[in-house]
Structure 1
Amino acid sequence: MSYTVTRRRALAGLASTLLLPMAIKGRSAAAAPAPLFAHGVASGDPDQSSIVLWTRVTTAAPQLQVTWEMARDESFSEIVATGVQTANASRDFTVKVVVGELEPGARYYYRFRSADTYSVVGRTRTLADGPLARVGLAIASCSNYPFGYFNAYEAIALDSRVEFVLHLGDYLYEYGPDGYGAEAGQRLGRAHLPAHEIVTLQDYRQRHAQYKADPQARGMHAAHPLLAVWDDHESTNNPWMGGAQNHQPEEEGPWAPRRSASLQAWYEWMPVREPLEGADPAAYWRHFRFGDLASLVTLETRHSGRSQQVDYDEAALATMDAAAARQFMMGEVGAPGRTMLSGDMETFAAAALANSVRAGEPWRLIGNAIPMARTLSPRLSTEDLAYLSARLDPGNLARAERFARLGELEMPLYLDPWDGYPEARERFYQLGRDAGTSDLLVLTGDSHSFWRNALHDGSGHSMGLELGTSGITSPGDFLEFGAEGAGLMDQRLADTNPEVEWTDGLHNGYVRLELTPELARADFIAVSTIAARDYTLKRLSRVDISHRNGALTWTTSPD
């Protein structure tokens, strides 16, 4: 079933069950903003009695007084809080306020004003306290501006079954005009600003401004509060505590100032609470409690505890045998003491999970930026390689052969995710067991693919399930192999890996997760295109998750 609808009819359909597939005309999900408030409004980082409101003013004045208002109704006839903030250059003219003394589980509307100019109206809500029958989350990740339109953001904005957006990182990308996604950006007129890789504070601010000015991003932010997790590209590709893969000190200066600039711009431009005075800004993690229904613990896996990642020696792969591969994985990748999370992060997560168990909450969610399941590179048969050889150009065939070589050696697809930190993963699983839980529902971004994964510790004991979301625009790893080639690679990934139940790297989109006391339902929702503003929606798969004998079990159904 497929049909074309106006935006108003689309909203009506989404208000019930998000009818799929459906076509959506290319329009903004939010009203056009006044030039003074060109970056729209946003809210996020909620608890039971407070929430962060955000906007930014575009002005040539050295400073500007901005009034904010919060009301129970969209017409602002019942205002519950108001105040004034000063916007100035010290924070790039962004305005952020934490509004307190709010009711738990309540919906509110908010807006900003300077003189006679108003922002668009945003809608937000606090977290519930006490009995809660249901909560709906959209899970998003990897929004690379040049690769295409943020159609999935618009779909999230229109999805009335969503109450909160969990964004699992790569909210923006750092690359310049010759970097990742640049060719698509030139075709679509969506080239990155500034027109170089971002390094300085002003660079990061300008890149954030470009992303926030996007009409579909504005619509998503105005519609739902954000629960934010960063990944690597908010600073640069694959950072660790002492540097990053995409940071060259000889050309870009020391790592510490660049990281500091990226984090400062992130705090300025995102609707999140500021670090306490004297606190480490890299120590960003949260425990969100959804009434008596669920706890969500978000992890920081890039800046506060990550050891330097180990990379494959490409030359050695050609001659490596199985014994050498095992030694590499045990002696280097699995070396004792290699960490992913800081000690403070682990202590925080352990306490939050233990509190959830003691409270009798049915669901323990982990907001996790990078894939956790064991994912070996796919084993490809001679027939598979012959099939790909007939269809791929030499460059992509070489990539496929490299994946096949890793699969032959039973080595991970990548060493950047938890696969590159197996001891740290075991430590995290032990942390969960010590807290009294082995029924984690891990929500994951980063990979540009949809996933359903079953998680196990090193002894084979179930630790829960992992749901991975695709990119908002960033493409799947195998997409350049064509639809059939990418489909083959996805199938071989599932065939090779016992923990991978299903994966799809062909589509962009998001995951909608609805929780009730008895059931967690995840819908994997794809947009038909990111190359145009008119698109259709399709549910690729649905999974229903429940508890059985202290563990999580699931049943699935396709569209």
Structure 2
Amino acid sequence: MRHPISRRRVLAGLAGAATLPFTGCASNADKPRGPEGVFAHGVASGDPDQHSVVLWTHLSTPESAASGRWLVARDPECRDVVKRGDFSTSVARDMTVKVLVDGLSAGQRYYYRFEYAGEQSLVGRTLTLADGYLERLGIAVASCSNYPFGYFNAYEMIARDPEVDIVLHLGDYLYEYGPDGYGGETGKLLGRPHQPPREILTLDDYRERHAQYKGDPQSRAMHAAHPLIALWDDHESANNPWTDGAQNHQPEEGDWGARRSASLQAYYEWMPVREPQPGMRRDQRWGHYRCGDLASLVTLETRHTARARQIEYHEHPDALASPEAAQAFMRDVVGAPGRRMLSDEMEAFLDTSLRESVSAGRPWRLIGNQIPMARTHTPRLADSDVAALGITEDNPRYADYQRFRRVGELGLPLYLDPWDGYPWARERFYAGCRAAGASDLLVLTGDSHSFWQNQLFSAEGVAMGVELGTTGITSPADFADFGPAGAALMDGLLAQQNPEILWTEGVTHGYIRLVLEREAAEVEYVGVSNIATRDFHPVSVRRTRVLRRDGTLAFA
């Protein structure tokens, strides 16, 4: 996302410092560990269904090809083995190992490990999705984990959260920038610079960056503790991509198609995700996760398969000339028919999935969505707000602030990269959901580096459900440059001036804990006290409930 200015109940089990990623695993140390041995990047699992799950690891070995063993057991000591087999890997897939284990029982907790050359990996914990009656499901919703900006303390919290069954990572799992890019200065101060020390462009670059993130001990702890359902957003390839390019890709950096292909190959190698089904391309990554009779989770692909090029305010200076010009800009340019977000194939998959969910009578329909969906107009700043924010003419970015204030005066969107920049596509999405019988969406959103509690409506005012937006694991919020008080002021203005926004908070880093039950969903916005050191404590930022009312959803 381009940045226009910059870019209470906590469970007793979360209150301590670093402990076991999960209890009862004899192979795990007392704290999340750094890289060591042949399994220096830990283990991970993901993309579960009722009878299968992906298991992942990487071999840190000088060999160009290797083979070993894996096993799945019912107990953390790995004595009650239910499945075992062989694996092989090579430098052709960067020595990563990915096994799709089938024939498992539905709704069961399992433990797994890998063995190679006499060494054993730590033991990971995973599960299969339920088939039939399901009383509850706990989901940790995460996004925007930029390595140089700070420690992954929120990952450690997720690893130790006893209410979490699955981690839903909504994208920006890693960032493509070099030391002179977004987060570079903070990374130097914290001793967490990106590797390789440049903007990543090639397959080897993307592989090395993935390895750096997987080698982080807190990332290792989270992956070992819970299965992952992962979506990509933009930074897994480059900032703000569309079908034919990206904002952070210049002609001198080579062919965009080759760069995107390299980023997707590394993603499939290094993430615990299923390979594309026959007949599907790597960029066509979406899914329908049926969680018993309780919930459906449908994940979207909004970056590579259909997205029209993003529109930028600076490319249309005349749009800020008058209210009439702004209205014409939104109607004729931003809102032009045919500005796609979702591909035909994605829309067909969404329709089929929602119809199946409605027919099955599941009470919850979750949408895994990378980018903010609620209408978010830029705050209108009074003179007193400008004074409180310390915006003065001697500020080197005064012209930027003035342009930002003008955008707010005209009632224009805060960003044109999320769904606000694609209103035709958003209405098409809403219409498709209504046609499938689903006007009760629980949309889970990342990207913005802020917590959100939003209600969703079509252009005609039809209620479509609610949106929960998660903050960054480490990436800073929109208004971080204004300091905590200034950021809180801006967040308050957003909620006051936007009917779809009930609350937002961009000061704290963390994740959302969403616990689905039969009649209601419990939501806690979980924060960490800091990301500058590993010495942190949990913070309960806000709690709310989502209730079902007359065929749609509302906050209690």
Match of 1:166 among 155, 165, 168: 168
Deviation for aligned residue 1:279? 2.1
Q: Aligned-pair distance for 1:375?
A: 0.3
| 1:528–1:387 distance in 2 versus 1, CA, 3 Å | same
Identity over aligned pairs, percent = 58
Residues 345-360 of structure 1: matches in 2 within 5 Å?
A: 345-360=346-361
**What is the CA distance between 1:396 and its match in structure 2?**
5.4
Counting matched residue pairs gives 540
- Of the three residues 187, 191, 208, the one matched with 1:206 is 208
Matched, 1:438 2:439: yes
SS in 1 for 2:44: strand
Contact 2:320 2:326 in 1 (8 A): no
Alignment-derived partner of residue 492 in structure 2: 491
Distance 1:474 1:216 in 2: 16
- 1:65 is displaced (CA, Å) by 1.0
Change (3 A) 1:187 1:33: closer
Contact in 2 for aligned 1:92/1:268 (Cα 8 Å): yes
Alignment-mate amino acid for residue 50 of structure 1? S
SS at match of 1:35: coil
1:399 Cα deviation from its structure 2 partner? 4.2
- 8 Å contact 1:392–1:481 — kept in the other structure? no
Letter of the aligned partner of 2:17 in structure 1?
Answer: I
- Counterparts of 1:241-252 in structure 2 under 5 Å? 241-249=243-251, 251-252=252-253
1:538 Cα deviation from its structure 2 partner: 1.0
User: 1:148 is matched with which residue: 147, 150, 166?
Assistant: 150
CA distance in 1, matches of 2:392, 2:322: 29
Alignment of 1:77-476 (within 5 A): 77-249=79-251, 251-313=252-314, 316=317, 320-389=321-390, 394-395=395-396, 397-476=398-477
- Match of residue 546 from structure 2: 545
State the shift of 1:276 in Å.
2.8
Aligned residue in 1 for 2:509: 508
Report the CA distance shift for 1:33/1:485 in structure 2 as closer, same or farther (over 3 A). closer
Residue 453 of structure 2 aligns to a residue whose secondary structure is: strand
Query: For residues 388 and 20 of structure 1, what CA distance do their matches in structure 2 show?
Result: 39
- Contact 2:320/2:407, CA 8 A, preserved across alignment: no
Q: SS of 1:491's equivalent?
A: helix
The two structures, once aligned, show a CA RMSD in angstroms of 1.8
1:132-182, CA deviations, whole angstroms, 9 ceiling, x for partnerless residues?
A: 000000000000000000000000000010000000000000000100000
In terms of mean alpha carbon deviation, does 506-515 or 274-283 score higher?
274-283
Inter-CA distance 354–394: structure 2 relative to 1 (3 Å threshold): same
Q: CA-to-partner distance for each residue in 1:73-106, whole Å, 9 max, x for gaps? A: 1111111111111121000000000000000000
For 1:48, the equivalent position in structure 2 comes to 50
Which amino acid is 2:468 matched to? L
**1:252-289 alpha-carbon deviations (Å, 9 max, x no partner):** 11110000000000000000001134421100000001
Partner in structure 1 of residue 3 of structure 2: none
Residue 395 of structure 1, CA deviation: 3.9
Q: Deviations over 1:200-250 (max 9, x none)?
A: 00000000000000000000000000000000000000000111000012x
| From 6, 11, 15, the counterpart of 1:18 | 11
1:61 deviates by 1.2
Change (3 A) 1:201 1:437: same
Contact residue 26 and residue 534 of structure 1 kept, 8 A: no
Residue 117 and residue 33 in structure 1: after superposition, are their counterparts in 2 closer, same or farther (change >3 A)? farther
Partner Cα separation in structure 2 for residue 30 and residue 538 of structure 1: 20
Q: Distance in 1 between matches of 2:428 and 2:390?
A: 41
Distance in 1 between residues matched to 2:450 and 2:117, nearest whole Å: 46
Cα contact 2:320–2:410 (8 A) shared by 1: no
Judge conservation of contact 1:29–1:157 (CA < 8 Å) in 2.
Answer: no
Q: Distance in 2 between matches of 1:147 and 1:335?
A: 37
TM-score if structure 1 supplies the norm length? 0.94
2:13 and 2:338 map into 1 onto residues whose CA distance is 48
Taking the aligned partners of 1:471 and 1:451, their CA distance within structure 2 comes to 12
Structure 2 Cα separation of the partners of residues 391 and 39 of structure 1? 48
What runs of 5+ residues in structure 1 fail to find an aligned partner? 1-13
Report the Cα distance in structure 1 between the residues aligned to 2:318 and 2:406, rounded to whole angstroms: 8
Query: Secondary structure at the residue paired with 2:537?
Result: strand
1:33–1:119 Cα contact (<8 Å) kept:
no
By how many angstroms is 1:404 displaced? 1.8
The 2-side partners of 1:289 and 1:235 are apart by 29
The aligned amino acid for 1:499 is: E
TM-score (norm 2): 0.94
> What's the CA shift string for 1:369-421, capped at 9, x where partnerless?
00000001011111111222368971455444333211101100010000000
User: Is the Cα–Cα contact under 8 Å of residues 50 and 106 in structure 2 kept in the other structure?
Assistant: yes
Quick one: structure 1 residues 552 and 179, their matched pair in 2 at CA, closer, same or farther if it must change by over 3 Å?
A: same
By how many angstroms is 1:30 displaced? 3.5
Deviation at 1:523, TM superposition (A): 0.2
Q: Distance between the aligned counterparts of 2:191 and 2:537, measured in 1? A: 22
Partner amino acid, structure 2, of 1:544? R
Amino acid in structure 2 at the alignment position of 1:493:
L
In the other structure, the counterpart of 1:4 is: none
Structure 2: which 5+ residue stretches go unaligned?
1-7, 21-29
Deviations 1:110-142 (A, max 9, x none): 000012100010000000000000000000000
Paired amino acid for 2:314: D
Letter in 2 for 1:162: V
Contact 2:18 2:156 in 1 (8 A): no
Question: Per the alignment, in what secondary structure is the counterpart of residue 37 of structure 1?
Answer: coil
